[in-house]
Structure 1
Amino acid sequence: MNDDPMLIFAGSGSPRLTARICEYLHLPQGKNETLHFSDGNTFVRVLENVRGRRVYLVQSTIFPTNDMFMELLFWIDAFKRAGADSVTVIIPYFSYGKGDKKDEPRVSIRGRVCADAIEVAGADRVVTMDLHAPQIQGFFHRPVDNLYALPVLCNRIKAMNLPNPIIVSPDVGFAKQARRYASHLGTPIAIAYKERLAHDEKAVVMEVIGDVRNKTAVVVDDFTTSGGTLVSVANLLLEQGAREVYAAVTHSVLTGRAVEQIENSPIKRLFITDTVENHPVPFTAKIEVVSVAPLFGEAIKRIHNRESISEMFKGV
């Protein structure tokens, strides 16, 4: 590492997370700039020599999604054209992670299109966190490392010393990951059943499987957009006898009136990570950000030193 110091750059989608990663690694941040022209075009420029170097770019593709994704592609191309030996893209939140399949006629498999574009632009490796559809790793011909926010969120939940806790999955699809939370925390698990009937980001929570009476429920999920599912599950848990409800979510894609909805809900506190920033609406005191910079920093260090990343998540 001393003979080949890593170069870490921030895209405009993740400036604060990049700064925290560099702080964790005790490294200066790479110099670059992004310009946005009045006609909507994006211009990126590397401001230091990267020839023959191994470069790491941090860029979440959200707020605004398509602009941030195009900027990501431009950065990959810029580094490659500047002679970088390799470009590893750190995508804390992969916004098209839900587009993993053709589940109705005449639709695009958006995750596959994005994966192809990232590879064609010249990325050598991808690092992301809590992919909504882990099979998206198979869309790439390059290595993909899917990190887990579970350790940092569980540490924060443990620090709360909640009485009689129970982990709750908001749907059947997240039940397997929720079991990992429950196993890590040594708690029982309950599962909510919901149906999503359209593409309007609204789901109807039908019932909760499991006994939550007199328990402190912690709803865990990989992301939330409108906050509607979290609020619906929280209301149902209280109806079924839960004492209090907390929530822990990796990606806080909080749009529209989501923050207001969570603020007015019975959820005592929502723990989120900093995989998403540049939110359009400021947070209230009910929402607490837990940084995953140490996880990404450690992953970058291990990749650079050709060490195992899976060792970071033993027991998870």
Structure 2
Amino acid sequence: MQNGEIKIFAGSSGRLFAERMCNYMGTQLGISQVITFSEGNTYVKAGETVRDKDVYLVQPIGLKPNDEFVEILFWMDAFKRASANSVTAIIPYFSYAKADKKDEPRVSIRARVCAESIELAGADRVVTMDLHSPQVQGFFKKPVDHLFALPLICEYIKSLQLEDIIVVSPDAGFAKQARKYADYLKTSVAIGDKTRKEHNEKAEILEIIGDVAGKNTIIVDDFSLSGGTLVDLARALKDKGAKKIIACLSHNLLSKEGIEKIENSPIEELVATDSVYNPLISTSNKIKTLSVAPLFAEAIMRIHRRESVSPLFNVLPDSVIKEIKE
């Protein structure tokens, strides 16, 4: 099937991100309408024709995951019924990727349910970033382009020109990804020994594996809700003699209480992307937001031109790096 004309639309939680993508690409955002009725029902409508166009719908599944997920389903159906040539779901943050397995009796594998539903609703392709569980890609039968915030975050860290840095993983589960950060920055890794006893957002840092004394530490993780793990780890690093402490997140879902914890912690700066629209972070002086919208825009243009997306996994185009420096 030949490429149709490209058209980008935004869901209710993806408008700002989609506008940044369109600014980078030099195109106009599609006209769309989302209404939430008094009883909670959601109504979506494309305000212009999409017949024979390649449609890209931008909608993170983030701070209101149930509403945002259902809205994606309605958008997929609307575009398919309007005779779009293809429909791609741009999901910068896929919240339900955390639920990737049946680790207890009588529970749902929610990530698989979401993946199947999005496909059945009409998605021909999915583009996302830093899935909590990368194997979620296997729940989709359609192509999934899995982007990474790592190069963008590392380029920002390099721009700070810090000496004697070490990358710190909050637990053994994230150590493999932390090693990738360390390889990019040409440094070593330390690991926090973390335990979580219940289904809540409270974890306990038991020990730091690695020498952090006298070093500038870069904590890396995919997301944080309460900020508890980051703050506990930062305090443990200070107790071990660490100097500057910077935390880096792919997705910023911090609550109001979490932001307050960060503000009152040894963390000097928290670096995160704009994959989730979180209005609460505007109250913090410590949080630095990097836009991954240009990265997604590059991916879309490559997909549309039938080019490989994989070069974006490790090396960013100069035009994307320029966005951080500005």
**Normalising by structure 2, what TM-score?**
0.94
Q: After the TM superposition, which residues 201-220 of structure 1 pair with which residues of structure 2 at under 5 Å, given as runs? A: 201-220=201-220
Bigger helix fraction? 2
Matches within 5 A, 1:136-285: 136-280=136-280, 282-285=282-285
Q: 1:280 to 1:241 in 2, by over 3 A?
A: closer
Given that 2:281 and 2:287 are in contact with CA atoms closer than 8 Å, whether structure 1 keeps it comes out as no
> 1:111 aligns to what?
111
Asked if 1:61 corresponds to 2:61, the answer is yes
Q: Render the CA deviation track for 1:107-153: whole Å, top value 9, x for unaligned.
A: 11110110111011010000000000000000010001110001110
In structure 2, what residue type is equivalent to 1:22? C
Matched-pair contact (CA < 8 Å) for 1:13–1:278: no
What CA RMSD, in Å, does the superposition of the two structures yield over aligned residues?
1.5
The 3-state SS of whatever aligns with 2:106 is coil
How far 1:14 moved relative to its partner?
A: 1.3
2:44 corresponds in structure 1 to 44
Give distance in 1, aligned partners of 2:256 and 2:64: 13
Measure how far apart 1:64 and its partner are: 1.3
- CA distance in structure 2 between the aligned counterparts of 1:314 and 1:257, rounded to whole angstroms: 34
How far did residue 255 of structure 1 move? Answer: 2.0
Kindly indicate whether residue 89 of structure 2 is the aligned counterpart of residue 89 of structure 1: yes
1:93·1:129 contact (CA, 8 Å) conserved in 2?
Answer: yes
The reply on whether 1:5 has 2:5 as its aligned counterpart is yes
Structure 1 contact 63–279 (Cα < 8 Å) conserved: no
> In the alignment, what sits opposite 1:310?
310
Secondary structure at the counterpart of residue 40 of structure 1: coil
* Of 63-72 and 129-138, the range deviating more from structure 2: 63-72
SS in structure 2 of the partner of residue 96 of structure 1:
helix
- Structure 1 residue runs of 4+, over 6 Å off? none
User: What's the secondary structure of 2:265's corresponding residue?
Assistant: coil
- Do 2:5 and 2:52's aligned partners in 1 also have CA atoms closer than 8 Å? no
Task: State the one-letter code of the partner of 1:238.
Answer: K
* Offset of residue 188 of structure 1: 1.3
Q: Kindly indicate whether the alpha-carbon contact (under 8 Å) linking 1:51 and 1:83 is maintained by their aligned counterparts in 2.
A: yes
1:187: how far off? 1.3
Contact 2:253 2:278 survives alignment (8 Å): no
Amino acid at match of 1:32: S
Deviation at 1:281, TM superposition (A): 6.0
Q: Distance in 2 between matches of 1:63 and 1:181?
A: 26
- Corresponding letter in the other structure for 1:92: P
Q: Distance in 2 between matches of 1:281 and 1:29?
A: 25
Q: Which amino acid aligns with 1:108?
A: S
Compute the displacement of 1:280 (Å). 4.9
Quick check: 1:22–1:28 contact (8 Å CA) kept in 2?
Answer: yes
Q: How many residues in Structure 1 have an aligned counterpart in Structure 2?
A: 315
Is 1:254–1:279's contact at 8 Å kept on the other side of the alignment? no
* 2:321 corresponds to: none
AA aligned opposite 1:41 = N
Q: Does 1:29 align with 2:32?
A: no
CA deviation vs aligned residue, 1:288-314 (integer Å, no higher than 9, x gap):
100001110000001101100112224
Whether 2:81 is the aligned partner of 1:98: answer no
Looking at structure 2, the residues matched to 200 and 37 of structure 1 have their Cα atoms a distance apart, in angstroms, of: 32
Residue 217 of structure 1 aligns to a residue whose secondary structure is strand
Residues 273 and 291, structure 2, Cα contact 8 Å, conserved in 1 = yes
TM-score normalised by length of structure 1: 0.97
Letter of the aligned partner of 2:165 in structure 1? P
Please give the alpha-carbon distance, in whole angstroms, between the structure 2 residues aligned to 1:27 and 1:282.
Answer: 28
DSSP 3-state at the match of 1:257 = helix
Contact 1:11 1:72 in 2 (8 A): yes
Distance (whole Å) between structure 2 residues aligned to residue 163 and residue 208 of structure 1: 21
| Counterpart residue type for residue 300 of structure 1 | I
Distance 2:280 2:42 in 1: 20
Supply the distance in 2 between the matched residues of 1:212 and 1:87 (Cα, whole angstroms).
48
